[in-house]
Amino acid sequence: MTVTLDKSFVGPAISRPRAKRGESEKRLQNEDDAGRRAKQRVRDCCKTIGADRMVTLTYRDNMTDREKALKDWKAFVRRLGKVNKFHYVAVIEEQERGALHFHVAVRGKQNYVLLRSIWQRVVGLGPSGEQMGQVNVRDPHKLGFGVKGAHRLAGYIAKYCGKQMDSRALDQKRYFRSKGIVLPELQYWRLPNCTCMLDAVHSAFHMIEGHSFEGLETWCNNALGIVYLATAPGIPDAVEVPF
């Protein structure tokens, strides 16, 4: 249920021309808000599937055509789906030089030969017969990934959703996920005794007592009254609230 205040005025309404999507003065704010929502969704999806490995699909050339890259990605997923079912959460990254490549969060050991074969077949060969695509798989030991580093992988993948990209319009997708990922129902706690955000942050830390603080990720928005904490799974020997 949503409750809003009635807005009243005297006299005729003043009609103003609406700015096109992405051309308003609030474009940067809209971009930030969209990126924040996408990052949260990507983190949730990665943790839901238990992603512990990252697959990176790259191009030999400086690929800057987003539409072409997305066609290659769809072809890759379609061909792989015929021989191997898997859940994934993928983001597209644009490097400083404009080159595009894909980061894909997956769970479990991957058939590297199969992934490389399919991606290289999709991308094709160069004028001299050289392979124009490459695949890299990072195992759970890289970047702290694995069972206790799953939230690190989720954060690593999600950070690309918040980046501004010259090749992406405001209304274009920031991430891609496989079908069948069912996100858990969110739980909310009301803190009626909190009088300020500092009290809310303090209460939030007390709520996660007993969980590992290793690699803790935090986000706080005073205007929205939101505190976000992401911890590693598992119970440590002894953890105290840091303040």
What is the rounded CA–CA span in Å between residue 104 and residue 116?
Answer: 13
pLDDT of residue 71: 96
pLDDT of residue 9: 38
What is the rounded CA–CA span in Å between residue 115 and residue 107?
Answer: 14
Instruction: Label residue 72 exposed, middle or buried (CB < 10 Å: 0-12, 13-18, 19+).
Output: buried
pLDDT of residue 229: 74
pLDDT of residue 38: 86
The SS3 of residue 215 is: strand
pLDDT of residue 235: 54
- Lookup result for tokens 């050289």: 130
> In the 8-state DSSP scheme, what is residue 131?
B
Instruction: Label residue 114 exposed, middle or buried (CB < 10 Å: 0-12, 13-18, 19+).
Output: middle
CATH numbers and ranges of domains, the chain = 29-179 (3.30.70), 188-243 (no CATH)
The SS3 of residue 222 is: coil
pLDDT of residue 215: 63
DSSP 91-125: EEEE-TT--EEEEEEE-S---HHHHHHHHHHHH-B
Tokens of 203: 């209460």
- Lookup result for tokens 């994934």: 88
What is the rounded CA–CA span in Å between residue 120 and residue 134?
Answer: 7
Whole-model pTM above 0.85? no
Tokens of 41: 């969704």
Provide the residue-wise pLDDT of the chain in tens; the chain has 243 residues.
222 223 333 444 444 455 555 555 566 667 777 778 888 888 889 888 888 889 999 999 999 999 999 999 999 999 999 988 888 999 998 887 888 999 999 988 889 999 999 999 999 999 998 999 999 988 666 555 555 567 778 888 888 876 766 656 666 788 999 998 888 776 666 767 777 778 878 887 877 777 767 667 676 767 767 777 776 665 554 445 454
- The answer for residues whose C-beta is within 8 angstroms of residue 105's C-beta and 6 or more apart is 46, 49, 51, 53, 54, 88, 89, 90, 153, 154, 157
What is the rounded CA–CA span in Å between residue 188 and residue 165?
Answer: 33
- Checking 107-113 for CB contacts under 8 A at 24+ apart, the result is 107/49, 107/50, 107/51, 107/52, 107/53, 108/52, 108/53, 109/53, 110/53, 110/55, 110/137, 111/84, 112/137
